[in-house]
Amino acid sequence: MGPVRGFKRRKRAEKKAERYAAAAEPMDSGQEPGDWWDGFSRRIAGPQSLSKELNKFECIFKISRKTFNYICSLVREDLLAKTTFFTCTDGKVLSVEDQVAVALRRLCSGDSLSNVGLLFGMNQSTVAQVTWRFVEAMEERGIHHLRWPTSEEMVIIKSKFEKKQGLPNCCGAIDTTHIMMCQPSADPLNKVWIDHQKNHSMVLQAIVDPEMRFRDIVTGWPGSMNDFLVLQNSDFFKLCEKGLRLNGKKLELSDGSELGEYIIGDAGFPLLPWLVTPYQGKDLSDSKTEFNRQHSATEMVAQRALARLKDTWKIIQGAMWRPDKHRLPRIILVCCLLHNIVIDLEDALRDEMPFGHQHDPSYKQQFCHFADQSGLILRDKLSQFLSGKLPP
């Protein structure tokens, strides 16, 4: 009897799978940590290596080797579980480290698929598929790096905010930024994505702790939506309105009243019982002016976090060319996860990054005039407390 139909084809597939598994296996414990990078850097030392800095790991990936290894450990299982394997143009099968390197380079440089492919010796479709596979794995394996603080962690956060600028019982700072998109203006369906600066964009709303760590994000909404509307449509807003968030220990004041937990935001947000915005208008009293100064200095942490996010993960800094609007929010989420991982792992490169705060440099400040009565009372109490008129 002759061979079973498809036997040879299955054998070839099995050999390919074995070859991929062998190439993708983690380094043996006896190997030096630099072995993978030594081989990888030699492979990319072609026409693109005109810069003397190209062979420096940190210059290419914007993170330390320790952080890179940790990210590989997060996604390794998911990447190895895929039956499809990728190769360079020379036929070499990409290891897990290779795939993570390609994806990170695409995310941190913002370079085109063709430029990343040219650098690493692979075609554009491979770069696109490898990057998306990495995004999917990070969504699943890295999400624990972006979560709301526990009650114990919140005590530390409130203490750090108070030490920074004196705001007591403050739990975070909120801000929004725009992720720019290049879209055909002739398409009437794209008008919803046109924001108040006449750009096509997607909004990212983030709540940040004193270490510039993202604690809550909302993205995917079109740029035409203002800050208040994005906030209202968030789970965070709904939880706060139900008393299920920012519901921790209150601060007792000398007049017998209590100061609940809250976050702060700029003038684009509404004044709420749990969201404090600055005083608006001219000819403010000295105490209100001082409150605005301290409020602004504290809120700066959110601006800096978003500026650093865009500066490090440049794929969301410039205008993305006709992005898939269903995939873009997931890419933004993964960039936020990577941002937090750098902080959580105390990556040494974090200290070398510039402290900018302009994440939307071409955008003018928007103003929201909605003010809840309880929010007005809360802000006045904070202003009196900071001016020394209401000691605790």
Burial class (CB in 10 A: 0-12, 13-18, 19+), 326: exposed
Amino acid sitting at position 333? L
Rounded Cα distance, 323 and 330, in Å: 12
Q: Domain ranges for the chain, please list them.
A: 7-141, 145-386
For residue 41, CA distances in Å to 49, 53, 101, 186, 196 come to 9, 11, 11, 44, 45
Q: What is the largest CA-CA distance in the chain?
A: 98
Euclidean distance between the first and final Cα of the chain, in Å?
Answer: 92
Rounded Cα distance, 122 and 315, in Å: 19
Residue 58: what pLDDT?
86
What are the per-10-residue average pLDDT scores of the chain (392 residues)? Answer: 48 49 42 66 58 66 93 96 82 92 96 92 94 97 98 97 93 97 74 91 97 97 96 98 96 86 98 98 92 95 96 93 91 98 89 76 90 96 85 54
